[in-house]
Amino acid sequence: MKSGVVFSISLLGVATGVKGAATTTFPQASGETALPTPLVVSGSFDGGMKRYNRNPDTCQDQTETNEAAAMFIVEDGGSISNVVIGKAQGEGIHCRGACTLRNVWWEDVCEDAATFKQAAGKTSYVIGGGARGADDKIFQFNGRGTVSIKDFYAEDYGKVIRTCGDCTGNGGPRHVIIDGVIAKDGGPLCGINTNYGDTCRISNSCQDDGKSCDRYTGVVKGNGSSKKIGTGPDGSSCFVTNLTETCSGGVGSPTTTARTTTARTSTTTSARSTTTSASSGGTVPLYGQCGGNGYNGPATCAQGTCRFSNEWYSQCVL
């Protein structure tokens, strides 16, 4: 009866609107875009769930590249939402200042998925979305301030986020907040430098080996390499609450099980469609957006059905 118990917890999670659950299904792209240079975003950019690649491809695996190899460059205060980033690009997203990355999916991470370069006192947000295939880290945190990662899905990766081990002018503190993240087939959620005062706070998440933090001594570029000095919560830099190793159904993923159930999915979808489409006419093309918080377009699919992806995105799929 173990699965029965898990399932009823799952339903409760949906019914009461519990936050803190990543979606573990990668979306289908609504179309293709390939650009010769990075797309520079100031303000907000909504990709409509299209797949973005560079042409020519700028991925050179783990060879250190830079901003010029990115798919998107986001200026301070900018945001990107509803984008699929394909494999033919090197550096994903570079945030020059504070940024918000909402419902962004990296299908095959090259060097890293995103790099945060904001100043002290600023906060960047990753909300929803997911990444897979990162040989090393998914998120590279080179600036200062705080990066908050919520309801994100990580699969087949080295670390979810690492504060820079050996940057030019390295230092800190850098703070990481991880909540509602599901992470499978990879390493720790955080890599932090305790000598620079970094912190990582993990809550309501799942890592299928229970790996929370790796703690390092960071260095300034040219002064050797950073040294790993410990793992796990230590009461001063790594704080962990409600981290489970059971990534399908459990504390970190109350809605994962429920969303694979057809009945639940359609109930959730139609409820959301109703609330997000009050005054709109027309229909949504296949793989287009048909619902989500802040969405005001039509909710009727020209083809297929409207499937709930997460709080911010429902998509017309076959």
Ligand X SMILES: *[C@@H]1O[C@H](CO)[C@@H](O)[C@H](O)[C@H]1NC(C)=O
Q: Applying CB under 6 A, which residues contact ligand X?
A: 203-204, 219-220, 223, 241-242
Please, what is the minimum distance in Å from the beta carbon of residue 239 to ligand X? 9
Beta-bridged to residue 30, according to DSSP, are none
Smallest distance from ligand X to CB 20, Å:
7
* Alpha-carbon Rg for the chain in angstroms: 19
Neighbours of 144 (CB within 10 A): 19
| Cβ-based nearer residue to ligand X, 242 or 270 | 242
In the complex with ligand X, the residue whose CB is nearer, 224 or 232, is: 224
Comparing CB distances to ligand X, the nearer of 62 and 223 is 223
Structure tokens at 30: 């609504």
Please report which helix (H) or strand (E) contains residue 15, including its range: helix 2-15
C-beta closer to ligand X: residue 235 or 281: 235
Q: How many residues does the chain have?
A: 318
We find the least distance from the C-beta atom of residue 18 to ligand X, in angstroms, to be: 8
Q: What angle do CA 25, 27, 31 make, to 5 degrees?
A: 165
At closest approach, how far in Å is the CB of 96 from ligand X?
A: 25
Indicate the residue among 9 and 286 with the shorter CB distance to ligand X. Answer: 9
- Between 98 and 181, CB nearer to ligand X: 181
257 vs 314 by CB, closer to ligand X: 257
Instruction: Assess whether the previous peptide bond of 56 is cis (omega < 30° from 0).
Output: yes
Beta bridge partners of 316: 306
Question: What does the alpha-carbon distance between residue 129 and residue 235 come to, in Å, rounded to a whole number?
Answer: 30
Please identify, using beta-carbon distances, which residue of 80 and 243 lies nearer to ligand X: 243
DSSP, residue by residue, 148-214: EEES-EEES-SEEEEE-SS-TT----EEEEEES-EEESS--SEEEEGGGT-EEEEEEEEETT---EE
The least CB distance from residue 170 to ligand X, in Å, is 7
- Cα angle for residues 227, 230, 236 (degrees, 5° grid): 110
- How far apart are CB 257 and ligand X at their closest, in Å? 16
| Residue 217 beta carbon to ligand X: minimum distance, rounded to whole angstroms | 9
CB 209 within 8 A of CB 245: yes
Query: Could you tell me the smallest distance in angstroms from the CB atom of residue 179 to ligand X?
Result: 7
Q: CA-CA distance, 297 to 299, in Å (whole number)?
A: 7
Question: Which tokens belong to 263?
Answer: 């009945």
